[in-house]
Structure 1
């Protein structure tokens, strides 16, 4: 029986009452502060001032705990809007916001579909908004948007982590490596790349995400309308 269907133990009058909600909340706080490496049943139990064995009545494995954490974050992803395009844009934007709020979430996105109640509710809202779209097209469209968001968000989170590790933000990194690129481009071996980097618009992360998303949605609209 999956954790979503398995009932919780009856609460007992003890100094530190437990529930899956409390366990998941403590795990999320640990992950928000120090990443997924900080999450273990032992550390979660310590944060709740209980023995690790008490957690096993509620969660059988760390994998179940991670599933519950991911689904809890899916509660923050509420796709809304009039029509499929607005709902897909909302899905992308709220997923990105959740990943920036919980960096570890980006590490667990992708792979097999999430089956928790909050993830299913979000999926229902998205699919319902695409009621007029051919049924065979719905899932590839949703998969394309999710793939774009996952790739973009992981890139942004990786950049944020690199800034923390190196102590250099994007501008400082560009200033440090700019002379090398100028010398390299001066050789004439990379003319197309040199033109784009020198003359193209330099968008920030928000602008880059928005432009890429609109390009994707335009393509989807063209395919659906054809």
Structure 2
């Protein structure tokens, strides 16, 4: 008898691998994108993170691009929807402040948002809320579209630039030293750049305060274009 009996084999004490699901795949994809960015994302790396075979992923998702769409929609769930009946400025401020925070936690989001339509159910719920706030304030037609573009472009542009800055200048002490050098340079050349030397305030590094003040300025401009209340 050459075949070893089942009952004589050592049992495998390793816990069984969790079953794959679309939810597990998307959660792992978000984590992989956080770690590696879009350029470092692949189905092979995703499968390795899940301790699964690459082909096993395709029983739950159609392609790499599908996974990216699902991951992008999933992070919108981190942005709370406002309470019904909230004032339009409060709705937009909360949505954009939270959107920036989400893009800071997930630096890959601005890149994906710029390259694909936001048609996932969570993203569309936020877009509905955004458009409804501006439409309820009285904007319609091209004015409404322009207001949406101005607000979203401001938030995305600010977040993308901040992400690049934070990825490049990581240490706070290095950032402070660089800002001091730039301010010193402007001061030395104040005869050429008097306005910059006096007002640029290069050493001001409050990204949160700067974002929220800039957002108020954009909202003030939109409010000035609203039709009069009758």
TM-score if structure 1 supplies the norm length?
A: 0.82
Q: Are positions 1:196 and 2:199 aligned together?
A: yes
The answer for unaligned runs of 5 or more in structure 2 is: 1-15
Q: CA deviation at 1:52?
A: 0.4
Residues in 1 aligned to 2:148 and 2:29: alpha-carbon distance in whole angstroms: 29
CA contact (8 A) 2:47 2:53 kept: yes
Residues in 1 aligned to 2:139 and 2:199: alpha-carbon distance in whole angstroms: 39
- Residue pairs, 1:205-216, within 5 angstroms: 205-216=207-218
Change beyond 3 A, Cα 1:47–1:156: same
Q: Are positions 1:142 and 2:148 aligned together?
A: yes
Change beyond 3 A, Cα 1:90–1:101: same
Q: CA deviation at 1:215?
A: 0.3
TM-score if structure 2 supplies the norm length?
A: 0.81
Q: CA RMSD in A?
A: 2.4
Q: CA deviation at 1:182?
A: 3.2
CA contact (8 A) 1:16 1:49 kept: no
Q: Are positions 1:96 and 2:94 aligned together?
A: no
CA contact (8 A) 1:70 1:108 kept: yes
Which position in structure 1 is the counterpart of 2:176? 171
Which position in structure 2 is the counterpart of 1:108? 112
Which position in structure 2 is the counterpart of 1:83? 87
Q: CA deviation at 1:174?
A: 1.6
The partner residue of 1:155 within 143, 154, 161 is: 161
Runs of 4+ in structure 1 over 6 Å off: none
Change beyond 3 A, Cα 1:111–1:221: farther
Structure (1 or 2) with the larger CA radius of gyration: 2
1:32-70: per-residue Cα shift (whole Å, max 9, x none)? 223233321001111111110111222222221111111
